[in-house]
Amino acid sequence: MPTPTKGPRLGGSPAHQKLMLANLATSLFTHGRIHTTRAKAERLRPYAERLITKAKKGDLHNRREISQQIRDKDVVHRLMAEIGPFFADRPGGYTRIIKTLPRKGDNAPMAIIELVNEKLASTEASAATRSAANREVGGPAGGAAATAATIAAAESSESSETSGSSDVEDTPSDLAPSDDATEAAEAEQAVGTDTEPEVPEAEAAAETEVPEAMAEESESSAGLGTDDDAEGTS
């Protein structure tokens, strides 16, 4: 004899409650999430997860058991072909309940029950481990691993090319003068050519100034001599 459910039933009778849960599960599998009262969501969660566990097995016996509760053939097919295989690596916890604001009018507590769409971290880690094992054995690498290997190979080839080009360019630079030295020599030559014409002009000016100074000195000495002679005669 089945154990009766604790607490009040959702409907007026056990048969009514069974039909209500079947309709709620049909809507959940069709739309992926439904908004209902918190009491119905808590009752629906184990009911829907048991159906998903049967769909994961995928045999004819479990399909017939699901069909006894879910009358919509399209929903049964989706449960067996899509939802069950999606949760093949998850041991449980196929649904989640999110509490929302109370319902207006009777202030009943409301909630959203939905199917979990995320994969487990352990599932992704195991998939990465399997791909790494395939690469070690020698199998073809695919997905992100192949992309990472291609990027690494391209970077290594670029680094080798840049190192080779730098060696080739450094060899003649030791023998030939650098660009900085060449520019400095050209600047010195330009400065020399600009200053050369100024030297003769300075020398000519100095030569003209020297005779004028000598002439002035001679004139002053001559004037002094005439003054002395005049004083002597006087």
User: What is the three-class DSSP state of 33?
Assistant: strand
- The Cα-based distances of 30 to 74, 152, 181 in angstroms read 9, 45, 80
Cα–Cα dist 78/71, whole Å: 13
pLDDT-above-70 percentage for the chain: 54
- Region 161-179: what's the mean pLDDT? 50
Residue 54 contacts residue 65 (beta carbons within 8 Å):
yes
Task: Return mean pLDDT, the chain.
Answer: 74
User: What pLDDT score was predicted for residue 231?
Assistant: 47
What's the farthest any 2 CA atoms get from each other in the chain? 172
For residue 181, the SS3 value is helix
pTM (2 d.p.):
0.52
Measured CA to CA, the distance from residue 9 to residue 15 in angstroms comes to 10
